[in-house]
């Protein structure tokens, strides 16, 4: 796994009045159907959640390559490993919370260590899991997979990036963890956008502060950049759809340009994007930083807006962290 | 059974298989002595089953360890790796001398089987309870591809305590995957077991696995796991049975073949001294040299 060259100019985003809200899980189900037509070796294994993860779209379209393995995630991962050894490319359908923890040792021993070509898809990641609460919210999946040698880790921002990332996953030999979300979120990338594994994506190029984000939090980072612009603060927004391999060059470039970094993720600030960026900068270019994400806590069930507000994940929280890190000043040089 | 048969050699006699078992046992004890680490009780209880698989049952070709049509074997009780390595070496997958590298740095013969290092291993194992699921996945893959290879998975009876075994058992029966066979090396002793006061005999680690597999919808065959004739018959019954996966419950003795290791849980993983080694090799040689009727 090596990072591709870093994007240096901001990519074009969709116009602000053309950002349809699409549930990533729907795009995932449709994406599987589209890929199945091209890749006869693609199979989908489900842990009795297909109508939540939207693997049911695949089950309806390609029934002979859909396998319902029941509520038994450890066995599902093991069977995926077996199928991979005989030439199939299994995509696993379950929730991030269960995949990353219930089947963790299985992923380690029969998928990651032998480097088998299994696509680990964790749906319902983060805090917005349809009022299911802390058992179903996934606060540490990025940290888990980022620490596991040999597993590429991806968290797309929207349905367009997801579609492109899924193709890249089929073209990448070896285990990949794909972080998916449940609820509709704005589509920010144009139809012709192309995801590249390991490459950061520069969305805004401001000189005052760098907002570095992943997954659907990138949409809130863009909103935060707007809030900051109203205060005369010019933000860089660097989207990192790949947490591993991390685009360290892009992170360092953003830190160098701005001298202040805020990370934003719907995940624990420990071990995920914030952890990865802090580690990268500490070893290359120590930079004042704030991490926006879950603050070492479990969540609860509740309406989305209330959850984002209570756990500090809104655009306003990202903007406030930016003001704070700027106010804290930069180290004397 | 299959159209693309690779077994060029004539079928071994039961006496040949017995001699192979003794050879393998000698290599196992010597390798653990040399490495200063490794397991003994489990490898020795599994030896006859492993020999029967690689010299008699499996459609494999040591020259082409990644041949698509080969039968698959997964040693789910991965701590018995040295048993598998000894048999693979005797079967010609790699030189017998390479057994000296067992557990040494940079060796292909890792403490637990690592498929990314040694060609001929069909799955990495070592964390107990995980081997049956990949085997069921392979059998499902064979069906999807229309391939005729079979998949064999060896489990320890203690290992059956892991819940994932029963997840896999349930799904294999549900999909009627008759090309997968589980072999339970039923030696009655795990590592420490259920402690009993006094002595080395302990309670069985897991009661009546056959009844449990049958309840999960499997075809069950019982056999003496140290009798090559009985093993051959059990394997044949597994291959012949259609519509259900088969579980072979092989009754074995932990530490089989070395008197002072037999039925003693302390020999699960213990390094023999020089004296232990000499006694063990002499006992094994005596068994190997026995005339025994041809079969
Ligand atoms: C998940 C897991 N837990 C514990 C162990 C440690 N361990 C290695 S062998 C063993 C006992 C295995 O007993 P059994 O399956 O009966 O094997 P055998 O007697 O044939 O050696 C244990 C507990 C392990 N390797 N994996």
Residue B52 is assigned to a structural domain of this protein = yes
Does one domain contain both A149 and A268?
A: no
Residue B71: its pLDDT value, please? 98
Does one domain contain both A154 and A289?
A: no
Residue A208 is assigned to a structural domain of this protein = yes
Does one domain contain both A26 and A174?
A: yes
Residue A306 is assigned to a structural domain of this protein = yes
Residue with CA at minimum distance from ligand 1 atom 17:
B156
Q: Is B184 helix (H, G, I), strand (E, B) or coil?
A: strand
Does one domain contain both A101 and A244?
A: no
- CB B42 near ligand 1, within 6 Å: yes
Give whole-number Cα distances, B62 to A119, B6, B13, B90, B139, in Å: 31, 10, 20, 10, 21
What are φ and ψ of residue A145, in 5° steps? -75, -30
- Are A109 and B116 inside 8 Å of each other by CB? no
* Chain B: closest CA distance from residue A235 (Å): 46
Residue A11 is assigned to a structural domain of this protein = no
**Ligand 1 pocket test: which of B28, B48, B83, B159 has the largest number of ligand atoms within 8 Å of its C-beta?**
B159
Residue A137 is assigned to a structural domain of this protein = yes
Residue with CA at minimum distance from ligand 1 atom 7:
B191
ipTM confidence score: 0.93
Q: Helix B81-91 crosses helix B14-35 at what angle (to 10 degrees)?
A: 120
Taking only Cα atoms into account, the Rg of chain B, rounded to an integer number of angstroms, comes to 18
Q: Which residue has the higher pLDDT, B280 or A3?
A: B280
Q: Give the catalytic positions of A in this structure.
A: 73
| CATH number for the domain harbouring residue B62 | 3.40.50.970
Residue B254 is assigned to a structural domain of this protein = yes
Q: Tell whether the model's pLDDT for residue B2 goes beyond 50.
A: no
- Chain A residues whose CB is inside 8 A of the B159 CB are none
Q: Which of B122, B124, B134 is closest, CB to CB, to A79? A: B134
Return the number of other C-beta atoms located less than 10 Å from residue B285's C-beta: 14
Does the bond joining A333 to the residue before it have cis omega, within 30 degrees of 0? Answer: no
- Are A110 and B136 inside 8 Å of each other by CB? no
CB pairs under 8 A between A and B: 108
Q: State the Cα–Cα distance between residues B235 and B237, nearest whole angstrom.
A: 5
pLDDT digits (tens, 9 = 90+) for B220-243: 999 999 999 999 999 999 999 999
Supply the DSSP symbol for A259: S
Residue B206 is assigned to a structural domain of this protein = yes
DSSP β-ladder status, A201-204 and A235-239: antiparallel
Owning domain of residue B125: 14-289
Which alpha helices (H) appear in B113-155, and where do they start and end?
Answer: 132-145
Residue B201: its pLDDT value, please? 55
Q: How many CA atoms lie within 13 A of A210 on its CB side?
A: 25
Residue A8: its pLDDT value, please? 62
Residue B117 is assigned to a structural domain of this protein = yes
Predicted confidence pLDDT, tens digits, chain A (333 residues)? 444 445 567 899 999 999 999 999 999 999 999 999 999 999 999 999 999 999 999 999 999 999 999 999 999 999 999 999 999 999 999 999 999 999 999 999 999 999 999 999 999 999 999 999 999 999 999 999 999 999 999 999 999 999 999 999 999 999 999 999 999 999 999 999 999 999 999 999 999 999 999 999 999 999 999 999 999 999 999 999 999 999 999 999 999 999 999 999 999 999 999 999 999 999 999 999 999 999 999 999 999 999 999 999 999 999 999 999 999 755 444
Residue A214 is assigned to a structural domain of this protein = yes
Q: Helix B41-52 crosses helix B81-91 at what angle (to 10 degrees)?
A: 30
Burial annotation A180-195 (CB, 10 A radius, 16+ → b, else e): bbbeebbbbbeeebeb
- Per the structure, the count of domains in chain A is 2
- Closest ligand 1 atom, CA of B157? 16
**Interface list for chain B against chain A, based on CB atoms closer than 8 Å:** 68, 72, 114-116, 122-127, 130-142, 144-145, 147, 151, 163-164, 167-168, 170-171, 174
Q: Is A110 helix (H, G, I), strand (E, B) or coil?
A: helix
What is the chain B residue with the closest CA to A85? B138
CB A223 within 8 A of CB A188: no
Return the number of other C-beta atoms located less than 10 Å from residue A39's C-beta: 16
- Per the structure, the count of domains in chain B is 1
Residue A104: its pLDDT value, please? 98
Give whole-number Cα distances, B165 to A147, B8, B174, in Å: 27, 35, 14
Residue A168: CB partners within 8 Å, gap ≥ 6? A195, A196, A197
Q: State the Cα–Cα distance between residues A247 and A317, nearest whole angstrom.
A: 25
pLDDT digits (tens, 9 = 90+) for B85-110: 999 999 999 999 999 999 999 999 99
DSSP β-ladder status, A119-123 and A89-95: parallel
Return the number of other C-beta atoms located less than 10 Å from residue A106's C-beta: 26
Q: Closest by alpha carbon to B121, among B155, B149, B95, B87?
A: B87
Supply the DSSP symbol for A18: -
Residue B192: its pLDDT value, please? 82
The residue among A186, A214, A243 that closes a domain is A186
Q: Tell whether the model's pLDDT for residue B196 goes beyond 70.
A: no
Does one domain contain both A302 and A244?
A: yes
CA dihedral (A252, A255, A261, A264) positive or negative: negative
Q: pLDDT over 90 for what percent of chain B?
A: 87
How many residues belong to chain A?
333
pLDDT digits (tens, 9 = 90+) for A277-305: 999 999 999 999 999 999 999 999 999 99
Burial annotation B45-66 (CB, 10 A radius, 16+ → b, else e): bbbbbbbbbbbbbbbbbbeebe
Does one domain contain both A218 and A74?
A: no
Query: What pTM did the predictor assign?
Result: 0.94
Does one domain contain both A66 and A153?
A: yes
3-state DSSP percent of chain A in helix, strand and coil, to 5? 40, 20, 40
CB A182 within 8 A of CB A22: no
| CATH number for the domain harbouring residue A298 | 3.40.50.920
The residue among A186, A212, A233 that closes a domain is A186
The residue among A125, A158, A186 that closes a domain is A186
Residue A13 is assigned to a structural domain of this protein = no
Owning domain of residue A306: 201-326
Residue B9: its pLDDT value, please? 67
Q: Tell whether the model's pLDDT for residue B202 goes beyond 90.
A: no
Write down the residue that tokens 């051959």 correspond to. Answer: B232
Does one domain contain both A142 and A208?
A: no
* Chain A: closest CA distance from residue B68 (Å): 8
User: If pLDDT is split at 50, 70 and 90, which confidence band does B290 have?
Assistant: confident
């Amino acid at each position: 796994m090596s990072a591709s060259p870093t994007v240096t100019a901001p990519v074009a985003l969709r116009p602000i009045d053309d950002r349809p809200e699409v549930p990533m899980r729907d795009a995932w189900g449709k994406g599987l159907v589209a890929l199945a037509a091209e890749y006869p070796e693609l199979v989908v294994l489900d842990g009795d959640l297909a109508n939540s993860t939207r693997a049911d779209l695949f089950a309806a379209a390609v029934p002979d390559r859909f396998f319902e393995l029941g509520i038994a995630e450890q066995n599902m991962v093991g069977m995926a490993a077996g199928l991979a050894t005989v030439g199939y490319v299994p995509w696993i359908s379950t929730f991030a919370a269960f995949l990353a923890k219930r089947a963790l040792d299985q992923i380690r021993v029969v998928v990651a260590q032998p480097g088998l070509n299994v696509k680990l898809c964790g749906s319902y990641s983060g805090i917005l899991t349809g009022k299911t609460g802390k058992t179903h919210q996934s606060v540490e999946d990025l940290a888990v997979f980022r620490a596991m040698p040999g597993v590429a880790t991806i968290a797309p921002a929207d349905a367009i990036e997801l579609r492109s990332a899924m193709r890249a996953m089929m073209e990448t030999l070896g285990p990949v963890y794909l972080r998916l979300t449940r609820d509709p979120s704005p589509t920010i990338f144009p139809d012709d956008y192309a995801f590249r594994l390991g490459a950061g994506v520069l969305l805004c190029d401001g000189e005052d502060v760098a907002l570095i984000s992943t997954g659907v939090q990138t949409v809130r980072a863009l909103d935060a950049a707007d809030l900051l612009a109203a205060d005369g603060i010019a933000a860089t927004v660097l989207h990192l759809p790949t947490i591993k391999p991390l685009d360290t060059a892009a992170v360092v470039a953003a830190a160098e340009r701005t001298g202040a970094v805020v990370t934003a993720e719907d995940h624990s600030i420990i071990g995920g994007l914030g952890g990865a960026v802090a580690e990268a900068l500490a070893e290359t270019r120590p930079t004042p930083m704030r991490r926006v994400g879950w603050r070492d806590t479990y969540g609860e069930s509740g309406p989305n807006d209330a959850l984002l507000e209570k756990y500090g994940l809104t655009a306003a929280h990202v903007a406030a962290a930016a003001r704070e890190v700027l106010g804290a000043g930069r180290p004397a040089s | 059974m299959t159209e693309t048969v690779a077994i060029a050699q004539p079928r071994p006699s039961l006496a040949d298989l017995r001699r192979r078992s003794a050879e393998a046992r000698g290599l196992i004890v010597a390798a653990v002595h040399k490495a200063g680490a490794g397991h003994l009780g489990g490898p020795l209880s599994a030896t006859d089953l492993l020999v029967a698989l690689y010299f008699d049952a499996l459609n494999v070709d040591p020259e082409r360890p990644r041949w698509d049509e080969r039968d698959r074997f997964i040693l789910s009780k991965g701590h018995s790796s040295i048993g598998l390595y000894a048999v693979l070496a005797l079967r010609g997958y790699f030189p017998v001398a390479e057994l000296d590298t067992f557990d040494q740095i940079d060796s292909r013969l890792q403490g637990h089987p690592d498929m990314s290092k040694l060609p001929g291993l069909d799955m990495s194992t070592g964390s107990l309870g995980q081997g049956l699921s990949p085997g069921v996945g392979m059998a499902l893959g064979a069906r999807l591809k229309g391939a005729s290879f079979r998949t064999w998975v060896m489990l320890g009876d203690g290992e059956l305590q892991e819940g994932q075994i029963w997840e896999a058992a349930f799904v294999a029966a549900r999909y009627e995957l008759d090309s997968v066979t589980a072999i339970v090396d039923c030696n009655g002793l795990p590592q420490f077991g259920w402690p009993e006061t006094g002595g080395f005999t302990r309670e069985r680690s897991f009661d009546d696995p056959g009844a449990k597999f049958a309840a999960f919808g499997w075809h069950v065959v019982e056999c003496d796991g140290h009798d090559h004739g009985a093993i051959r018959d059990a394997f044949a019954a597994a291959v012949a049975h259609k519509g259900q996966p088969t579980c072979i419950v092989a009754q074995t003795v932990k530490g089989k073949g070395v008197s002072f290791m037999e039925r003693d849980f302390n020999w699960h993983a213990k390094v023999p001294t020089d004296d232990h080694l000499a006694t063990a090799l002499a006992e094994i040689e005596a068994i190997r040299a026995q005339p025994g009727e041809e079969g």
